[in-house]
Amino acid sequence: MRNRPFSRFSLLVAAAGALAAAAFALAPLKAAEDAVVIPPPASDVPAADGIQTVVLSGGCFWGVQGVFQHTAGVVSAVSGYSGGSKANAQYELVSTGTTGHAESVQVKYDPQKISYGKILQIFFSVAHDPTQLNRQGPDSGTQYRSAIFTTSDAQKKVADAYIVQLDGAKVYPKPIVTKVGSLEAFYPAESYHQDYLTLHPSQPYIAYNDLPKIENLKKLFAANYQEKPTLVRSVSN
């Protein structure tokens, strides 16, 4: 992975992280990517009984996971990898950008409390910028691509139609590059990646790139925001 300003790789190095933390303490908090106000999808998946699943990729999984852990109606949001094989679903390998994986978040939600369409609206609005090709903010490579891995034909149909709707409405200055495809497999990431935003709120990468996403969720989707996150360790215990 390329070493670059505010990148996750460089900030995981302890010495660099300490120096960056001091710099960020003196700088105002600022979102690397601004949220975009967008309309809800014109069509949605009908509410059904039982927990539903969709896997979303939009850059570093720390921030995407954090957003959906603060989304009411989501019963779990787990960071992991999709798009490659089980054999190379490891952070060190995925980070090379050669495994076919995308950093992803498995979102399980209660359709009686939040719709699939609302999940997509939050994903496109505050969780990431869907117009960035094979990158997101400071991170670049195919592992940071924008993608929706669906678990039903109805989910895929709604996602495809929503992208056409948003592009037609020109709510973004550039076309959406998000790829939509059926989920083949999801592999949970290492335990140290889970609940990362909640456990490390003062980490410079989180403070600069991801905490503003939570504030945008609270501001733009107040009815869907929950203050207490649904953490992986709480669900698994």
Per-residue pLDDT band at 233 (split at 50, 70, 90)? confident
Read off the amino acid at residue 106. Answer: Q
Say what the pLDDT of residue 234 is: 72
Catalytic one of 11, 45, 55, 60: 60
Distance CA(64)–CA(217), nearest Å, equals 11
Q: By the 8 A CB rule, do 72 and 226 touch?
A: yes
3-class DSSP state of 23: helix
The full set of domains in the chain, from first to last, is: 8-236 (3.30.1060.10)
Distance CA 178, CA 231 (A): 27
140 is catalytic: no
Q: What is the sign, positive or negative, of the torsion defined by CA atoms of 219, 114, 126, 187?
A: positive
pLDDT tens digits along 174-232? 999 999 999 999 999 999 999 999 999 999 999 999 999 999 999 999 999 999 999 99
Q: Is the dihedral of CA 185, 190, 195, 200 positive or negative?
A: negative
| Chain centre distance of CA 64 | 2
**3: which residues sit within 8 A by CB, 6+ positions away?**
9, 10
Mean pLDDT of 28-53: 84
Sequence length of the chain is: 237
